[in-house]
Amino acid sequence: MSRRSLFILFGPALLAGSLAFLLPASPSSEAEGRDGGPDLTVQLTVTPVLPERVVLERELSGRVAAYRRVEIRPQIGGLILDRKVDEGMRVAAGDVLFRIDPAPFDADLRAAEAALTRAEAVAAQARRMLDRSDTLLAKHVVSPEKHDAARNDLVLAAADLAEARAVVQRKRLDLDFATLRSPIDGYVASGLADIGGLATPGGDKPLAVVQDLEKVFVDLQVPAAGLDAILLASEAGLGPVRVMADRDGAEPRAGQLRSSDVIVDPGTGNASVRVEVANPDLALLPGMYVRARLPRGVAEDALLVPEDAVLRRGDGMAQVVVVSDQTKATRRDVRLGDRIGSRILVTSGLKPGERVAIRGQDRVPDGTTLQVTPVAADDLPALPHP
């Protein structure tokens, strides 16, 4: 390669290097050279951590069950002539749901009433015969044996009369059973029997199901180790159980702990508890999955920090940035407890009255103490929610 070619290749590079030596250093580079690093003073938004009384809660998942659930089953067999309700309809106690063909039962009742009339006549005749026998026995006209026979006839006639009356009562009940009514106020569930179907006593499927949904139960599984705390908190009246439906926009509903099972499942180690919740708008339906927060105790001097104030180390340890009265900021390891709304309970690592950073704390490196400019949280506008 010729000298001219080499000059063409390396000439621009030599020229650029010469210009770099001639250009002056930038002001920021000179400052870093004099100070040994960038300015480490940062602005932090801080808030004091003050003790307060809070109710501790335990969140559990459960299922909704109807307050009352009644299966409508026939007590007599027959053809369904009429159905007065549809699925989802609200009914009151005593409303007619179905009518079974009453003709056979009406005929049986008439036959039973005729037998009752006959039994009444026989009993009346037996009474007259005994009265006559009593008179004749007093005059020594009839033998004691015949008198005893007349008395026995009256006893048998009275028994037949009682049986006939019982049969009539039973036949009247059968006729009444031909009309099926709702025993409670509630809503008719799906799966209704159709007109023309055959009602059979003891069948596998009910003709209808009526559920009272104005109030509902929420069945929860509580670990046995935490059951006593929940029961004691309920007896102390620490607050209602809050039930949240698992859907967007659902407002928590207040409930009351009603009962707990006395048996612990050996497979899971859980015991069942039941919470009663008012449900006037039918927002909670049987089978729905919900979450419930149950009070389990009180922390009298709890220290709570906003959720945004918590940082995490690489090993997962929680930290907060504490700002001293000398406006020195440093990270500090803490232990966390329950989540109370948008705040977290700090069980160790903080003292009452200390100030923690809630904005900008991620700019404080771990293991370093920085001079900071603290700004009270009330002095800044609230950050918009994402």
Look at residues 178, 183, 184 and name the one whose alpha carbon lies nearest to residue 98. 178
Query: pLDDT of 240-291, one tens digit each?
Result: 999 998 766 678 899 999 999 889 999 999 999 999 999 999 999 999 999 9
The residue-averaged pLDDT of 97-109 equals 96
Query: pLDDT of 309-360, one tens digit each?
Result: 999 988 989 999 999 988 899 999 999 999 888 899 999 999 999 999 999 9
The CATH number that domain 58-67+211-299 falls under is 2.40.30.170
The number of beta carbons lying within 10 Å of the beta carbon of residue 32 is 13
**The pTM is what?**
0.71
Domain positions in the chain: 42-56+300-379, 58-67+211-299, 74-97+181-205, 102-177
The CATH number that domain 42-56+300-379 falls under is 2.40.420.20
Instruction: State which fold the 102-177 domain adopts.
Output: Helix Hairpins (1.10.287)
Q: What is the distance between the alpha carbons of residues 128 and 132, in angstroms, rounded to a whole number?
A: 6
Q: In the beta sheet, which residues pair with residue 357?
A: 46
Query: pLDDT of 57-76, one tens digit each?
Result: 999 999 999 999 999 999 99
The residue-averaged pLDDT of 78-103 equals 96
